[in-house]
């Protein structure tokens, strides 16, 4: 399964969620930045509110695209122990990465929200959305941070490594992944167009989603 871009993937994912899941008062939470265009389309398909949930990958020093873990709100840190052992990463390097990415989370929160308060998750089905599940570290961190706040927690992505999806199913109330690959190399191989998602696009989509919500609510 190859998608044209994240927006097309999000529309397909939204249709699958609508058909496959019993959603009670859903709210879509995008994992920035690449998850935002996907989540925007999911929210449109489900006629659900969209918010951003800050989580940051902890990249292996010198190979930042490879995740040695992730950090999310509520003090949540998820570590990929096999990767840490394989690369011999020292605890001090992990601590430095955690501190650096927490600062980036604060920057992103201020930039993307523009002073808006996060939407309440109490009593709702929180659907965490990313553009793909490679190691699953960022999604796991987000799930564990959201778990105490929502009634139900679901994870959704257009594509993912089959082993990662299997592991995630033990952490969520539901998982929807359109393509679970046994030979997963990288998220980008499932998209024809996979350019980086910029901060401006994230802000634009979040603002547009808020405007659409006001129109639906008649406010």
Q: Which of 38-42, 46-50, 166-170, 212-216 has the lowest mean pLDDT?
A: 212-216
Q: Which residues pair with 52 in a beta bridge?
A: 30
Task: Give the CA angle between residues 184, 130, 65 to the nearest 5°.
Answer: 55
Please state, rounded to an integer, the average pLDDT across all residues of the chain: 93
Q: What is the pTM of this model?
A: 0.93
Q: Is 16 helix (H, G, I), strand (E, B) or coil?
A: helix
Q: Which of 2-16, 113-127, 144-158 has the lowest mean pLDDT?
A: 113-127
pLDDT for the residue numbered 21: 66
**Residue 120 and residue 86: Cα distance in Å, rounded?**
40
pLDDT for the residue numbered 196: 95
pLDDT at 20 over 90: no
Is 156 within 8 Å of 139 (Cβ atoms)?
A: no
- Tally the residues of the chain: 219
Residue 33: cis peptide before it, omega within 30 degrees of 0: yes
- Rounded to an integer, the average pLDDT of 73-86 is 92
pLDDT for the residue numbered 3: 98
Is 57 within 8 Å of 31 (Cβ atoms)?
A: no
Give the count of alpha carbons within 13 A of 124, CB side only.
17
């Amino acid at each position: 399964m190859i998608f044209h871009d994240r927006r097309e993937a999000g529309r397909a994912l939204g249709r699958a969620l609508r058909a496959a899941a019993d959603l009670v008062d859903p709210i879509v939470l995008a994992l920035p930045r690449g998850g935002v265009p996907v989540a925007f389309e999911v929210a449109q398909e489900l006629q659900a509110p969209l918010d951003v949930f800050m989580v940051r990958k902890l990249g292996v020093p010198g190979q930042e695209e490879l995740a040695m873990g992730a950090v999310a709100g509520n003090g949540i840190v998820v570590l990929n122990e096999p990767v840490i052992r394989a690369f011999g990463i020292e605890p001090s390097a992990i601590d430095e990465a955690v501190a650096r990415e927490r600062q980036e989370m604060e920057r992103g929160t201020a930039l993307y929200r523009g002073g808006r308060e996060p939407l309440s998750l109490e009593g709702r089905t929180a659907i965490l959305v990313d553009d793909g599940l490679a190691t699953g570290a960022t999604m796991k961190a987000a799930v564990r941070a959201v778990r105490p706040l929502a009634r139900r927690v679901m994870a959704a992505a257009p594509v993912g490594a089959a082993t990662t999806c299997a592991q995630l199913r033990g952490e969520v109330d539901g998982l929807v992944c359109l393509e679970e690959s046994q030979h997963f190399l990288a998220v980008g191989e499932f998209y024809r167009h996979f350019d980086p998602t910029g901060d401006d696009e994230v802000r634009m989509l979040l603002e547009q989603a808020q405007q659409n919500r006001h129109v639906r609510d008649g406010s």
